[in-house]
Chain A
């Protein structure tokens, strides 16, 4: 030996990381998504709104006026709870879903994702349980994991959360001595499942949670994006004390502003404000005032109607394409929102197929991303919000080739692949969320 040189692990702080950072690792799957944003690839992966559908020139004029006329305020720090004018607007927006709140009840956040993080931060101790739908929003699972929560999934069907299953799940967890802190739910046009909690079940879910003393965290970015229906009453409209409601302008206006909000019972709200101030001091004044101006000066309800029509056309395109090209799969037919949840033919694994899909220039999110416990390999989430109907059809056509090739592999080897495990896309890039 010519001496014993010291090795390096390329990170001098390896021993210093908090345990919650250990799962934060770049994955092979995440690397594959780097290709998904290229124009050659039909991305059915990302939940990106169709921003080109906005009146961008008019919005540009509004923003220009905002800076010229009120720049000294817009570009300054603001209130930790959020701009009062915007909070007033938010109460108006929420009335569409039956929520009657005061502007003081609202905490503006940097996207509803930050609100989700704040709620988790103030409620979750290591090992506390969050009950979530099976499957559940990938971005929520990343937050829950980062705060070292234990997520237990509970069943949903075509009408959303199954009340009896929820009751049984919470009862079992409590009998096992677990501390269940909240139920996380996306009741409308679910991400990724595409289903909506039925009118009939809403009070049942609220009653079960109340009976067990479990808070409900209602995440509702898509509620106004129903294709044919009037918005359903929010769970928050059924219980002011038992529900924290999260809203967002990311899907109804534009995610680039990063503005969402939480409506919470008084004492919770006070803690959320303090936690938010500790994290970010205040949400962006510029973004909040930009959105308030947009709501003041533009036909935002008309714009939402346009979005709904565009998304309905895309939903129709993807369902038609699935029927034509993937007859052996099954899928949900959403009444609104961005996603359909596709169950693959027996034995196929969406995660192991992804490299082949990227080669075929089509992208989706494997179902494992939406579970905490490694399930979901037999599903994939397809988003129809961003590509044009023609591109969607082409994407599904390409996807069918990938599925057929995978099916042949399964026939040859008698097995699907996929390494399983809960960490598929645990910390999603924004286009995947």
Chain B
């Protein structure tokens, strides 16, 4: 079993991806798996064509790594790879599409609208923002429809903050997802496996001073993690079921991480990641440890699924 991890790339999350790649490689090597790491560049396809039996693990976060395009390349090159296929990745990558699919499958999700920048220009920003607040109320969460690591995400408590939040969001993409902010317990549920055999790792609870933004995610201190989450059995089952339902209905493979808010109405789906962060502060490795398992063993298992 040889593994080639793809990490880096050109997305806004390059830095996180490089750290994720290094961590997974280290764990796999410790577990006895011969593992290399490489960036994604113009020499990638010739390198893929020479791979033979090596399994590729794309650990690129953000566009091209999670939007299905890299997976398309891997399929065209006929290589075996870890993670969801191109079509499923593409659906998961778009937060509004994933929310719609999850909702239709019976998973609750905060009410939202998806609006392109051009709409604000054509209809007038004040009118559109007024209508958004009229429908969803305050507070709101504004986020790029595609993207990760909380880049471009703002929680808006007052109407006056909305224009700036929109501008910050559109710096990362042309389409914004504006979502009703839900108060509750924030949890991330990592899933391993495929279809009916998929299983959820213990949920990780995230308690943040302020917003769970980039600073909170990648600098230790502002976030307190509880792994496993401080939930009763029914709550734990509810968030696990929601994550598994999302994993299955989106047709995801091998691994995913679903972010949820648990409130009085139950688990509310926010987002799913097909290439979840694997850095020293990331949630997936914390879930593995909460399950009393070795990272290397779980990563080996994931590679074996490919």
Contacts and interface: CB of A to CB of B under 8 A. Distances in A.
B40 to A, nearest CB: 10
B230 A415 contact: no
Given A28-B151, A413-B120, A35 B14 contact: yes
Contact of A31 (B10, B16, B172, B233): B16
Contact of A417 (B117, B171, B205, B218): B171
A143 B250 CA distance: 49
B226 interface: yes
A415 B163 contact: yes
A411 B233 CA distance: 52
A57 interface: no
A85 interface: no
B10 A41 contact: yes
B219 A413 contact: no
Interface string B227-263: 1101111001000000000000000000000000000
Contacts of B230: 1, 4-5
A75 interface: no
Nearest to A349: B167
Contacts of A40: 10
How extensive is the interface on chain B, given as a class? 35 or more
B87 interface: no
Contacts of A395: none
Interface stretch (A9-17, A233-241, A293-301, A332-340): A9-17
B167 A417 contact: yes
A261 to B, nearest CB: 33
B281 interface: yes
Contacts, number: 115
Given A2-B233, A355-B151, A413 B163 contact: yes
Nearest to B168: A417
- Chain B residues touching A, majority SS: mixed
B224 A352 contact: no
Interface in A13-61: 14, 25-28, 30-32, 34-35, 38-41
A124 interface: no
A31 B12 contact: yes
A10 B281 contact: yes
B117 A353 contact: no
Contacts of B11: 35
A192 B171 CA distance: 24
A355 B224 contact: no
Nearest to B126: A414
Contacts of B168: 352, 417-419
A414 B224 contact: no
A38 B232 CA distance: 47
Contacts of B231: 1-2
Given A2-B233, A409-B117, A415-B164, A26 B171 contact: no
Given A2-B233, A355-B152, A8 B225 contact: yes
Given A2-B231, A28-B215, A356 B171 contact: yes
A7 B226 contact: yes
B221 interface: yes
A32 B125 CA distance: 28
B167 A27 contact: no
B13 interface: yes
B45 to A, nearest CB: 16
B214 A409 contact: no
27 contacts: A2-B231, A2-B232, A7-B207, A7-B226, A8-B227, A9-B221, A9-B224, A10-B223, A10-B281, A14-B220, A14-B221, A25-B215, A31-B14, A31-B15, A35-B12, A38-B41, A352-B171, A354-B171, A355-B12, A355-B152, A356-B172, A409-B117, A411-B121, A412-B120, A417-B167, A417-B168, A417-B171
Interface of A: 1-2, 4-11, 14, 25-28, 30-32, 34-35, 38-41, 352-356, 358-359, 361, 406, 408-419
